[in-house]
Amino acid sequence: MKRLFQRLPRTVPVLALLAAFGLARGPIEEGLRARLVAANLLVPPPAQSAFEQMRQSVLMATLGGLRPLAATYLSLEAFDHFSTKSWDDLRRSYEIVTSLEPRDETHWVAVVWHLGINATANMEIDGRLPAFERERRFKEYAFQAIDFAERGIAQLPESAAIRLQLVEVYREKLKDDCAASRVYGDTIGLPGAPGFVRRFHGYYMARCPGREKEAYAYLTALYREGKSQRKPTLIKEIQDLEKKLGIPVPQRIPEADPDRPRPNQAPRRSSNVLPGGIVVP
Amino acid sequence: MKERMSTPAVEVSNLTKVFSLGLRKEYVVAVDNLSFRVEAGEVYGLIGPNGSGKSTTMKVVLGLMAASKGSAKVFGLDSGDIRARNEIGFLPENPYFYKHLTGAETLRFYGKLCGMRGAALAKRTAELLKLVDLEGAANRRLGGYSKGMLQRIGLAQALVQHPRLVILDEPTAGVDPIGSRQIRDLILRLRDEGYTVFLCSHLLEQVQEVCDRVGILFRGRMRREGTLDELIAIEGQTTLTLEGASPALLERLRATVAEEGAEVLAEGHPRTSLEQLFIQIAERGGEENQPS
Amino acid sequence: MRPVPLFSPGRVATIASGTVTQLIRMKTFYFLLAFALVVVAAGNFNLPATPAQELSMIKKVSFGTMDLFAWLFAIVATALLIPRDQEDRTLYTILSKPVRRVEYLLGKLGGVLVVVGVSLVAMYAICATMIGVRESLFVAAEVEAMQADGRYSEEDIAGQVGLIRQQGLRPELAIAVLAFFLKAAVVAAVTIFLSTFASSSLFTIIVSILVFLVGHAHTMASSFWLHESGNSAFVRMLVKVVKILIPDFQLFAFSEGVVLGEAVVWPLVWQMGGLTLAYLAVFLLLSLLVFVDKEF
Ligand SMILES: Nc1ncnc2c1ncn2[C@@H]1O[C@H](COP(=O)(O)OP(=O)(O)OP(=O)(O)O)[C@@H](O)[C@H]1O
Ligand SMILES: [Mg+2]
């Protein structure tokens, strides 16, 4: 108090300078913020709804500039929910995580994998629930996974990884070959997209009712690209289509060996094995 | 008497320093219309009881505090002037330096602050460590120094840039008799080397021993000032100092004194002490200065 | 009268290096050990996640902790130094030498920043080692697994390795460290300003942390309160005043984008550097306004 009194006259210039600086930097900072957000370097504050769901500690950390730590903490917690099979808690955790760090691809991939693959698999075997309920929840989780994937793709339009995770839900869980083909098609050409997506786009198109002709044209075009595309599966798929569509023999591809044992379907892992051979409990 | 140079080392004129306490209108007048000069080359002592405003005066002279009224000049420069400070070496009361530095590092730190570098600084550091007799402890951290050692390293620190004026606030506070004797000898040496010394203390014997001139401060005001001889001389009293006087001669003198109606007050030590004077002033000041 | 330079970088450097020595001898660098522990712990998370996910997580935990340590250290170190000099009266002896008060403030700030900078470089080295080691282990394991499988082309393997590398040790990560440094510098300048008129270190630390928190929240606060009609004029006023008085620390979170692997936009980095300098200049000026005729 004593100190304050002595310096009372000083507070006027100090406040004036502080205010002048505040007013001057306001527009500059707004401009910088807009450009940083446009460059994806800065994440705009999460929606109010995300805040409302946060617990106090997470909220504090988030406000204190510790957003990445808060997000990591919540995603660790989500792994915990995963191990106890609390799928709804897991979804809620990821709602916050993805709104804290919408541009982190790994969160979107993880939540699509958890809900679309793990939760649905759990519904297929969970003996505690009646069959009807299991089936209903199976669909619910699959659709929640698709919803997350679509939101993730909206945030990261270039992401191959989210699409590859999404495609597994369509392919393995919903058996929707048309959707699988569409998502593979969307993935073609994205940075980091593996080479097989072009072939898989065709394979699943071939299984999509009504698109066989289109698939035949697409796959033969790939075949003509050269040796690198002529995988056993490609040949097998073309041959199946040739038969189905009744293509005249002279126009068929030369590798005619219908009794050739059907090879594994290229890079495809069972759903509880991750790249790197990590097996999920 | 010393030769008086045209610019005094310190010139304090009509200095008043008021501290306000809190938001209620309460004030402490620490220094009240104080004027004095410290001439170049002399040792000047400001003495006064606790709270009489000695440290406050020194801080104003150093520019650590602003005067409420009046001014303080050092070698003709305003006390806030950085050039003035280059000519001052200051030892605060109960000095405290960076505990984590060694004695030698402390001197180098302060030397660098005064713009000294390289060999000149190294030489000066060694010289000062020798002067204050801390060569043995040069590489020990100050955290482990005793009070007397701190006081001495503080004195060395004050001298590092060869200042012309040395300001010492209670240089012997908390130092044992032998230590304070060393410090006193150092001060005398400084005077002989041409430094001006401005010190304050409430330890009177020491002031008495080293100071050329003394000012007595009480409740922020200068009560008496002058050379030691002037101050201590008692008006209306005369001292005769005889050598080889026989008891008979003394007897005759006493008789003559009695005849004249005068009185022999004391024999032996003829002077009052500074201490007595000091107490007298304090008592008188206390009566006239009851808080209003 | 001997000449004395009006402003001497040498004196600033002396005070700065004194501050660095002080912080080193106060053993503050031990916090790097704590940091190394966090990074090692993060590096050994055993999660059912893909290598890319795991690397991303290690990266976020270690960089998040680095950020936290940097600004917290900047606040605590700065808040401890000046009040301590004052309490110990070391300030008397320094300011009674031919030292300007602006030089003292600059030296203290400079010293803290050197220590923060060196610590950040050290923390970055720790992180980089951990991430680099994990990355090469992951890549080796992945390549081995894919080759053993036999069904993957070189192209497939390269794609997978690319995915991992993208989350691994990239030179741009250094820009995130730079962002932490800029933020810590602004925080230190604000703390110096507060410590010039606060009477205790504890008070300075608490207020600085509050300012720091509010400095992150006010963009959110303004989006919630300024654009909603339901709030009273008073609340809106308050938000505006806070926005004007308190630095916007949220801008410095561009490090988050960099850590996630977004492309660095250099002009924006320079602009943030410029903004930081402006903050430093203004807060030093403010500190000086208070400090210049402060009495001790
Ligand atoms: N910063 C301050 N704020 C308020 N009052 C102060 C301040 N500094 C000194 N005073 C007051 O001014 C008066 C003079 O203090 P000063 O320290 O100058 O005395 P001193 O003569 O040095 O005493 P001592 O012999 O005890 O050192 C005292 O009453 C003290 O309480
Ligand atoms: Mg005193």
Residues of A within 8 A of C160 (CB-CB) are: 194, 275
Residue C145 pLDDT greater than 90, yes or no = no
Residue B203 pLDDT greater than 60, yes or no = yes
Residue B285 pLDDT greater than 70, yes or no = no
Q: Within this chain, do residues A182 and A129 fall inside the same structural domain, yes or no?
A: no
Which among C61, C252, C258 has the least Cβ separation from residue A69? C61
> Is there an atom of ligand 1 within 6 Å of B53 CB?
yes
Which residues lie below 8 Å from residue B64, measured CB to CB, with a gap of 6+?
A: C92, C95, C96, C295, C296
Q: What is the pLDDT of residues C162-213, one digit of tens each?
A: 878 877 888 889 999 999 999 999 999 999 999 988 878 888 899 999 899 8
What is the length of chain C?
A: 296
Burial group, residue C78, by CB count within 10 angstroms (0-12, 13-18, 19+): buried
Protein residue whose Cα sits closest to atom 12 of ligand 1: B30
What is the length of chain A?
A: 281
| Nearest-angstrom CA–CA distance, A118 and A114 | 5
Mean local confidence (pLDDT), C241-266: 88
pTM: 0.82
Please report the number of interchain residue pairs, chain A to chain B, with beta-carbon separation below 8 angstroms: 9
Q: Within this chain, do residues A76 and A168 fall inside the same structural domain, yes or no?
A: yes
> Is there an atom of ligand 1 within 6 Å of B50 CB?
yes
H or E stretch covering B31 = strand B27-38
Instruction: Please enumerate residues of B whose Cβ is less than 8 A from a Cβ of A.
Output: 20-23
What is the reported pLDDT for A262?
45
What is the reported pLDDT for A258?
46
Protein residue whose Cα sits closest to atom 3 of ligand 1: B19
Average pLDDT, chain C: 86
CATH code, domain with A58:
1.25.40
Q: Within this chain, do residues A208 and A89 fall inside the same structural domain, yes or no?
A: no
CB contact under 8 A, C4 and B154: no
What is the reported pLDDT for C226?
58
pLDDT category, B105, cuts 50, 70, 90? Answer: very high
Residue B291 pLDDT greater than 90, yes or no = no
Our mutation pick for probing the ligand 1 site, out of B20, B55, B64, counting the most ligand atoms within 8 A of Cβ, is B55
CB contact under 8 A, A28 and C199: no
CB contact under 8 A, C142 and A104: no
Distance from CA of B26 to the nearest CA of A (A): 10
What is the reported pLDDT for B234?
62
| Nearest-angstrom CA–CA distance, A84 and A79 | 9
Q: What is the pLDDT of residues C96-113, one digit of tens each?
A: 899 998 999 999 999 999
Strand, helix or coil at B135?
helix
Tokens of C258: 């960099």
| Nearest-angstrom CA–CA distance, B197 and B41 | 7
What is the length of chain B?
A: 292
Parallel, antiparallel, or unpaired for β B77-78 and B213-218?
Answer: unpaired
**Chain centroid offset of residue C234 CA:** 34
> Is there an atom of ligand 1 within 6 Å of B52 CB?
yes
What is the reported pLDDT for B272?
58
**What would you measure as the largest C-alpha separation in chain C, in angstroms?**
87
What distance in angstroms lies between residue B198's CA and the mean position of ligand 2's atoms? 14
pLDDT category, B123, cuts 50, 70, 90? Answer: very high
What is the reported pLDDT for A5?
43
Which residues lie below 8 Å from residue A83, measured CB to CB, with a gap of 6+?
A: A281
| Positions in chain A whose pLDDT score sits under 50 | 1-7, 258-270, 273-277, 279-281
| Nearest-angstrom CA–CA distance, A77 and A61 | 15
Cβ distance C170 to C258 under 8 Å?
no
Angle, CA of C215, C221 and C226, to the nearest 5°? 130
- The answer to whether residue C163 neighbours chain A at the CB level (below 8 Å) is yes
Residues of A within 8 A of C61 (CB-CB) are: 68-69, 72
Cβ distance A242 to A207 under 8 Å?
no
Q: Which residue of A has its CA nearest to B26?
A: A2
- Residue bearing tokens 């080691």: C133
> Is there an atom of ligand 1 within 6 Å of B30 CB?
yes
> Is there an atom of ligand 1 within 6 Å of B28 CB?
yes
Which residues lie below 8 Å from residue B81, measured CB to CB, with a gap of 6+?
A: B63, B74
Protein residue whose Cα sits closest to atom 1 of ligand 1: C296
pLDDT cut 70: percent of chain C above it: 94
Strand, helix or coil at B52?
coil
Please report the number of interchain residue pairs, chain A to chain C, with beta-carbon separation below 8 angstroms: 191
| Nearest-angstrom CA–CA distance, B53 and B29 | 9
- SS3 sequence, chain C? CCCCCCCCHHHHHHHHHHHHHHHHHCCHHHHHHHHHHHHHHHHCCCCCCCHHHHHHHHHHHHHHHHHHHHHHHHHHHHHHHHHHHHHCCHHHHHHCCCCCHHHHHHHHHHHHHHHHHHHHHHHHHHHHHHHHHHHHHHHHHHHHHHHHHCCCCHHHHHHHHHHHHHCCCCCCHHHHHHHHHHHHHHHHHHHHHHHHHCCCHHHHHHHHHHHHHHHHHHHHHHHHHCCCCCCCHHHHHHHHHHHHHCCCHHHHHHHHHHHHCCCCCHHHHHHHHHHHHHHHHHHHHHHHHHHCCCCC
Residue A38 lies in a domain: no
CB contact under 8 A, B22 and A6: no
Q: Which residue of B has its CA nearest to C24?
A: B100
User: Positive or negative, the Cα torsion across C201, C109, C61, C30?
Assistant: negative
pLDDT category, C260, cuts 50, 70, 90? Answer: confident
What is the reported pLDDT for C115?
93
Q: Within this chain, do residues A227 and A242 fall inside the same structural domain, yes or no?
A: yes
What is the reported pLDDT for B3?
44
The residue among A157, A174, A191 that closes a domain is A174
Query: Any idea which ligand is nearest the CA of B20?
Result: 1
Radius of gyration of chain A (CA): 27
**Structural domain boundaries, residue A223:** 176-248
> Is there an atom of ligand 1 within 6 Å of B55 CB?
yes
| Nearest-angstrom CA–CA distance, C183 and C27 | 23
Residues of B within 8 A of C11 (CB-CB) are: 112-113, 115
What distance in angstroms lies between residue A209's CA and the mean position of ligand 1's atoms? 97
Instruction: Please enumerate residues of C whose Cβ is less than 8 A from a Cβ of B.
Output: 1-6, 8, 10-11, 14-15, 18, 21-22, 25-26, 88-90, 92-100, 293, 295-296
Average pLDDT, chain B: 83
- Quick one: which atom of ligand 1 is closest to the CA of B21? 4
What is the reported pLDDT for B266?
62
DSSP category for residue B102: B
Residue A96 lies in a domain: yes
Parallel, antiparallel, or unpaired for β B27-38 and B10-20?
Answer: antiparallel
Regarding predicted confidence, which is higher, B176 or C136? C136
pLDDT cut 70: percent of chain B above it: 86
Residues of B within 8 A of A6 (CB-CB) are: 20
Cβ distance A94 to A107 under 8 Å?
yes
What is the reported pLDDT for C193?
93
Average pLDDT, chain A: 80
| Helix, strand, coil percentages for chain A (3-state, nearest 5) | 70, 0, 30
Tokens of B121: 């600084």
Select from B193, B189, B194, B223 the least CA-distant residue to B46. Answer: B223
| Nearest-angstrom CA–CA distance, C284 and C282 | 5
| Nearest-angstrom CA–CA distance, B18 and B28 | 6
Helices (H), chain B: 54-62, 82-86, 103-113, 118-131, 147-159, 177-192, 204-210, 228-232, 247-259, 274-288
The interface pTM score, or ipTM, of the predicted complex is: 0.87
Q: What does the CA dihedral A226, A227, A228, A230 come to, rounded to 10 degrees?
A: 100
Q: Which neighbouring-strand residues pair with B226?
A: B214
DSSP category for residue B143: G
Parallel, antiparallel, or unpaired for β B213-218 and B221-227?
Answer: antiparallel
What is the reported pLDDT for A264?
47
> Is there an atom of ligand 1 within 6 Å of B201 CB?
no
| Nearest-angstrom CA–CA distance, A204 and A211 | 10
Q: What is the pLDDT of residues B33-90, one digit of tens each?
A: 999 999 988 999 998 888 889 999 999 999 888 888 899 999 988 888 888 888 899 9
> Is there an atom of ligand 1 within 6 Å of B108 CB?
no
Angle, CA of C116, C122 and C128, to the nearest 5°? 130
Q: Within this chain, do residues A156 and A184 fall inside the same structural domain, yes or no?
A: no
CB contact under 8 A, C268 and A103: no
- The answer to whether residue C147 neighbours chain A at the CB level (below 8 Å) is no
Residue A28 lies in a domain: no
Parallel, antiparallel, or unpaired for β B196-201 and B43-47?
Answer: parallel
Q: Within this chain, do residues A159 and A55 fall inside the same structural domain, yes or no?
A: yes
Which among C6, C88, C99 has the least Cβ separation from residue B113? C99
User: Cα dist. C91→A136, B96, C23 in Å?
Assistant: 74, 9, 17
| Nearest-angstrom CA–CA distance, B252 and B258 | 10
Residue B182 pLDDT greater than 90, yes or no = no
Residues of C within 8 A of B155 (CB-CB) are: none
Residue C75 pLDDT greater than 60, yes or no = yes
What is the reported pLDDT for A2?
40
CB contact under 8 A, C160 and A275: yes
> What's the total number of domains in chain A?
2
What is the reported pLDDT for C138?
87
Q: Within this chain, do residues A119 and A215 fall inside the same structural domain, yes or no?
A: no
- The answer to whether residue C289 neighbours chain A at the CB level (below 8 Å) is yes
Among A35-49, B229-243, C114-128, the range scoring the smallest mean pLDDT is B229-243
User: Cα dist. B189→A117, B185, B192, B193, B214 in Å?
Assistant: 91, 6, 5, 6, 19
What distance in angstroms lies between residue B32's CA and the mean position of ligand 1's atoms? 13
Select from C169, C127, C181 the least CA-distant residue to C261. Answer: C169
Cβ distance C258 to A41 under 8 Å?
yes
Mean local confidence (pLDDT), C214-229: 69
CB contact under 8 A, A35 and C167: no
Q: Within 13 A of B179's CA, how many CA atoms are on the CB side?
A: 16
Distance from CA of A249 to the nearest CA of C (A): 30
| Helix, strand, coil percentages for chain B (3-state, nearest 5) | 40, 25, 40
Residue B289 pLDDT greater than 60, yes or no = no
User: Cα dist. C85→B59, B218, C34 in Å?
Assistant: 16, 30, 28
Cβ distance A65 to C250 under 8 Å?
yes
Residue A190 lies in a domain: yes
Which of B82, B90, B105, B165 to mutate to probe the C interface, most C CBs <10 Å?
B82
Q: Within this chain, do residues A99 and A213 fall inside the same structural domain, yes or no?
A: no
Mean local confidence (pLDDT), C65-79: 91
CB contact under 8 A, B109 and C14: yes
> Is there an atom of ligand 1 within 6 Å of B27 CB?
no
Protein residue whose Cα sits closest to atom 14 of ligand 1: B53
Mean local confidence (pLDDT), C67-72: 91
Cβ distance C111 to C12 under 8 Å?
no
| Nearest-angstrom CA–CA distance, C139 and B139 | 53
Q: In what order do the strands lie in the sheet with B27-38?
A: B27-38, B10-20, B69-74, B77-78
- Quick one: which atom of ligand 1 is closest to the CA of B17? 12
- Quick one: which atom of ligand 1 is closest to the CA of B220? 14
Which among B59, B65, B113 has the least Cβ separation from residue C14? B113
Q: Within this chain, do residues A96 and A210 fall inside the same structural domain, yes or no?
A: no
